[in-house]
A and B are shown apart, each in its own frame.
Chain A
């Protein structure tokens, strides 16, 4: 079942939750709606589920308009953020609920619920009450309950939001395997980019009720379409530079930027990802006594390199983060190196280095303005 969202708008009082949003979710896709809180992602999910009515626009399933179809008839499996398990029912009855209200035969319910309990690996826990389950177990009950009605679409609202870090990672991988097994069109909402990138086939980044970018995790990560996406993905060095005559300038280093051929100089935002920077020692006398001068080695883009001083070196898991201050700059610049590379380089605070970007992203503050 494919979903087509056509020009959906929704306001809560004066707050515009969704502003003319259109989106296609092809059959079998696992799609992530990624964005900060208030970006409209949950509202969009709830509108697809029929739990919220749009002010304007249409929702289609396989080309059929379902905008006016009540949530009860949409046959959508919805996993709520806090699971919304029926507190007074056992796990078994929670999962059976959708079948019971459809007046399914008893044996069929029994068989189906046991099958689902097995699927979500909660065999033997059918008699428990939701309050007697851990967060991860409740999440899986919610999922089984949504799957029991054989939905055409599965929607999940922050499915891992309430879980602790370790459970979250385990459940994520499990959910991905489950999706591959069932192959149902699924949409989930998250504010956690790691979750979106690891789990989804496609990621839709939302902000202020609009879609900023849509693409595979690779596309979104490698080619952020807007400064917002760049900022939201985070872990990035941001500098304010300028553009003129097809070049962007960052601390005097020219970078090719053919999108802006005009002669008039304009301020621009320059983004450098810490792991896309090379760093090399430039001081004649390293503390260990070795003489090095390999600053010329790292200049693959021909963009020149930036002289800087090392401030701090911090180990963070598999990478080492080196904080530097470029000459003449107020702000710091972070460089991430694989631990092995960093150990070989053996930089010390106070040393002089040359930093060379392998990849630079430039955004004009107001793209609308460019003619």
Chain B
């Protein structure tokens, strides 16, 4: 919590600074966000609903997004847990390389990632002819969308988990092992409850990014309306067809989803902060917390009273 110090600026400067910050965030973020909804509902909710529900291509795009994003997030969740477990619990050759590799998708342009997938799975790609003879289609089809989406969201879950798992440390899991738990029991009963909020945070972020991914998906999708258009691609297609109101309607659904994501993120972050405080308290080991719950003759007690903040 900010507290006044002798280095605090005077109230006028402070107010000016606040105004500028609010201005930046307002102009860059709030006005565009508000205008999505304003434009989408400019002709009333009925027009908005018609644009969404009565266009089969848009309906298909919504359905495709709702299929592709969860698949990509599921792959990322499994990958994130496995990789975070490796990095935080084992020392092995290539560990730091693995950590760096996890960040690579962040810095690779989604378009480049999509192109790389086309070079492998495309008609003239490395595996393209083989896949074609088997009758499998990856590029210009939903598997390509899933691969591209997974690539761009790859770091999101693992990056949430690694710091949390390192902070918790391996002792609880070792305790579970020494008490006879097998791998699955250790994971479901000890690890998962400990990392659930961090995992959920990663999943929410990955899902938001997956629903909104454009560049990588654009390249691998072939942009076929009613077949490989996801919601963001549909926004662009409608915009190119000069159907801005319909485009805005789809955009408003995505923006609404973004707002839901932010609320979820806010709630989860409060839980994470609470857990971090709890972890800290568990480490600090107060001598007693409160004597009230302790029966009078229930074992060693001390006169020192401390309380957890």
Question: In the complex, what distance in Å separates the CA atom of A328 from the CA atom of B302?
Answer: 49
| CB closest chain-A residue, reference B193 | A88
Tell me if B193 and A74 are in contact (CB < 8 A): no
Q: How far is the CB of B95 from chain A (nearest CB, A)?
A: 14
User: Is B295 engaged at the interface, CB distance under 8 Å to the other chain?
Assistant: yes
- Among B179, B286, B295, B301, the most chain A Cβ lie within 10 Å of the Cβ of B179
Tell me if B171 and A122 are in contact (CB < 8 A): no
Tell me if B293 and A125 are in contact (CB < 8 A): yes
Question: In the complex, what distance in Å separates the CA atom of A122 from the CA atom of B298?
Answer: 6
User: Is B264 engaged at the interface, CB distance under 8 Å to the other chain?
Assistant: no
Given contacts A82-B283, A125-B293, contact A164 B298 (CB under 8 A): no
Given contacts A49-B178, A170-B300, contact A163 B282 (CB under 8 A): no
6 smallest beta-carbon distances between A and B, as pairs = A121-B299, A84-B171, A170-B300, A98-B179, A134-B288, A135-B285
Given contacts A122-B299, A124-B295, A125-B293, contact A84 B189 (CB under 8 A): no
Q: How far is the CB of B200 from chain A (nearest CB, A)?
A: 14
Q: How many residues of A contact B (CB 8 A)?
A: 53
Can you pick out 27 interface pairs between chain A and chain B where the beta carbons lie within 8 Å of each other?
A: A51-B178, A70-B177, A71-B178, A72-B182, A75-B180, A78-B178, A80-B171, A84-B172, A86-B172, A86-B193, A88-B193, A88-B194, A98-B180, A101-B180, A121-B298, A124-B298, A130-B282, A134-B286, A135-B286, A136-B302, A146-B179, A149-B180, A163-B285, A166-B302, A166-B303, A167-B302, A174-B300
User: Is A133 engaged at the interface, CB distance under 8 Å to the other chain?
Assistant: yes
Tell me if A87 and B176 are in contact (CB < 8 A): no
Question: In the complex, what distance in Å separates the CA atom of A74 from the CA atom of B180?
Answer: 8
Q: Supply 9 further A-B pairs (C-beta < 8 A) apart from A49-B178, A167-B300, A171-B300.
A: A73-B180, A84-B171, A86-B175, A87-B282, A121-B297, A131-B282, A133-B289, A138-B285, A174-B300
Given contacts A101-B185, A121-B298, contact A162 B179 (CB under 8 A): no
User: Is A203 engaged at the interface, CB distance under 8 Å to the other chain?
Assistant: no
Question: In the complex, what distance in Å separates the CA atom of A134 from the CA atom of B279?
Answer: 14
| CB closest chain-B residue, reference A97 | B179
Tell me if B185 and A84 are in contact (CB < 8 A): no
Tell me if A145 and B179 are in contact (CB < 8 A): yes
Tell me if A78 and B193 are in contact (CB < 8 A): no
Q: How far is the CB of B141 from chain A (nearest CB, A)?
A: 42
User: Is A140 engaged at the interface, CB distance under 8 Å to the other chain?
Assistant: yes
User: Is A24 engaged at the interface, CB distance under 8 Å to the other chain?
Assistant: no
Residue numbers in A under 8 Å from B308 (CB-CB): 131
Q: Flag B271-298 by CB within 8 Å of A: 1 or 0 each.
A: 0000000110111011111000111011
User: Is A231 engaged at the interface, CB distance under 8 Å to the other chain?
Assistant: no
The 8 Å CB contact of B175, one of A80, A128, A170, A174, is: A80
Tell me if A149 and B179 are in contact (CB < 8 A): yes
Question: In the complex, what distance in Å separates the CA atom of A318 from the CA atom of B120?
Answer: 83
The 8 Å CB contact of B299, one of A72, A73, A128, A140, is: A140
Tell me if A87 and B179 are in contact (CB < 8 A): no
User: Is A297 engaged at the interface, CB distance under 8 Å to the other chain?
Assistant: no
- Among A76, A130, A133, A138, the most chain B Cβ lie within 10 Å of the Cβ of A133
Question: In the complex, what distance in Å separates the CA atom of A87 from the CA atom of B192?
Answer: 12
User: Is B9 engaged at the interface, CB distance under 8 Å to the other chain?
Assistant: no
User: Is B18 engaged at the interface, CB distance under 8 Å to the other chain?
Assistant: no
Residue numbers in B under 8 Å from A11 (CB-CB): none
Question: In the complex, what distance in Å separates the CA atom of A50 from the CA atom of B177?
Answer: 10
| CB closest chain-A residue, reference B277 | A131
Question: In the complex, what distance in Å separates the CA atom of A112 from the CA atom of B154?
Answer: 46
Q: How far is the CB of A225 from chain B (nearest CB, A)?
A: 33
Tell me if A134 and B287 are in contact (CB < 8 A): yes
User: Is B181 engaged at the interface, CB distance under 8 Å to the other chain?
Assistant: yes
| CB closest chain-B residue, reference A155 | B178
User: Is B190 engaged at the interface, CB distance under 8 Å to the other chain?
Assistant: yes
Question: In the complex, what distance in Å separates the CA atom of A136 from the CA atom of B294?
Answer: 12
| CB closest chain-B residue, reference A167 | B302
Given contacts A97-B189, A125-B293, A136-B287, contact A164 B302 (CB under 8 A): yes
